[in-house]
Structure 1
């Protein structure tokens, strides 16, 4: 199976789902990095850098760009990351890493967002190892040729999508697992992985936790007459509040957290209802979501 990287050419941290609209964007073939990084060329590695945002890369790749540069390659799964730094709790709103995975889901493709929760790159290998393990676990679950890429069939009546504002249907565990698997394969559900630097080699199935960024703004006086003040955003410290099965708490305990998150916002016809997402919190003996067996 070929490996294709479409990545921003520069760091785009905290850009969420920002797009460059109506602006030409250059794509660079970085084939020289294959030898420089010692990658295995026999598996079919292709590295591209786009002068845009993480979501730009997904739209360009999935809406014709990949077919343009690699006509014989069909994507099966998107991995966004591994990001340097955590994407926990409300980080999900700001994260470019998660934004790209969510964009892939909007295009109907299964996606994983992965983050190493330290900003020290020297320990990044552990984040890579946990991510590779999860990808190896997930790849057999998705179709080799995607059935829903670019959403040729939009079915708001699928069993895995919300019936809101009607009451949610009653489901057994088996039915819920099958519906969660269907949601993942169709892009309605994405996975968010966070790996701590002191990873205990185990996983936990989680939901978003709760954390608060305190004293997030620093300011200084400006010597420029036209500038009132200069502000810098960056929290002085973070308060974590314990939440049952929260990703923040799981990572703090040394686990790699796996959260199953809906791709679409609440009240969208393709979102998932709370009752179905409650089943997504159930885990097997390995710490993976039980719906992996659905």
Structure 2
């Protein structure tokens, strides 16, 4: 990467907590490549918290400079901050001027959530705190990437980190040094990528240049990237959609011997069924590929939702099988 391309700051968070191995390895890799990194992550594990936030609750934060001596990093252009909150809390605090208050010189260029320990594919994208943080960043107008290792064994984490770094460096090639839409200073629902629902136009506004429309959506936080990398990654990427996987026997049950009217339920699937879907994230990782899915930040029918027909272009791949709109 050229010097001009790494002048902007990368803002990192996760749901496994600031001391998680995925965070450590990602910070080390980005720091080694000269990127400016600020971490604003939960102080402890917040997995599967989705988009939960703490309302009207004081949230303590701390610098974690002690980790710099434990990690293999250069102290220059690196800030490590933990927050006693959820992944979404970290993004709300950081992006809604909390980061500006703590580190006025830092303006993030891109948000990365992860690398998560465990897959975030299919319906996982709704439960995941990793995904929730990336989506929250998008709501604040920031381009964002969510990244996960598709195993709960951290032995393959370095491969997921390597894939994530490659995607980050591809993404920042099309991003401005300073975010265009942080905190959404203005809202323009006439932009070409935005759905006109309930009106269905014969010729959508984006039809003359769908690639640039998707880039604009990403730059403005309306489109996020979700990368899932298997521990057996073969070095290849695939542009994907969400797949279908089903958690069977998702609860275990135990009666309380002291009181027959109470019992204990534990959520945790005993098995996972997979339904094949062409070009899906689940199918890609089963072929040892790293899956890159383009996901809309806003739900359908929201005024800033992406046009459904434009989303079909998200399955088009270009160089090295990245989404075609990431082509440099």
Interval of TM-score (by shorter of Structure 1 and Structure 2): over 0.9
The aligned counterpart of 1:162 is 195
Q: Which secondary structure state, in structure 2, belongs to the residue aligned with residue 79 of structure 1?
A: strand
Give the alignment of 1:1-294 within 5 angstroms: 1=7, 2-42=36-76, 44-168=77-201, 169-170=203-204, 175-225=209-259, 228-293=262-327
**For the Cα contact (< 8 Å) 2:192–2:206, is it kept in 1?**
no
**For the Cα contact (< 8 Å) 1:173–1:279, is it kept in 2?**
no
Per-residue deviation, residues 35-75 of structure 1 (Å, max 9, x unmatched): 21021122x10001100000000000000110011001101
Give how far 1:227 is off: 5.7
**For the Cα contact (< 8 Å) 2:227–2:291, is it kept in 1?**
yes
Structure 1 pair 85–227 and aligned structure 2 pair: CA distance change class (3 A): farther
Give how far 1:14 is off: 0.5
- Cα RMSD of the aligned pairs, angstroms, is 1.4
Q: Which secondary structure state, in structure 2, belongs to the residue aligned with residue 77 of structure 1?
A: strand
Structure 1 pair 201–175 and aligned structure 2 pair: CA distance change class (3 A): same
How far apart are the structure 1 equivalents of 2:258 and 2:310? 55
Give how far 1:293 is off: 2.9
How far apart are the structure 2 equivalents of 1:174 and 1:200? 36
Q: Which secondary structure state, in structure 2, belongs to the residue aligned with residue 280 of structure 1?
A: helix
How far apart are the structure 2 equivalents of 1:151 and 1:50? 24
Per-residue deviation, residues 80-101 of structure 1 (Å, max 9, x unmatched): 0000000000001100000000
Q: Which runs of 5+ in 2 are unaligned?
A: 1-6, 8-35
TM-score where L is the length of structure 1: 0.97
TM-score where L is the length of structure 2: 0.87
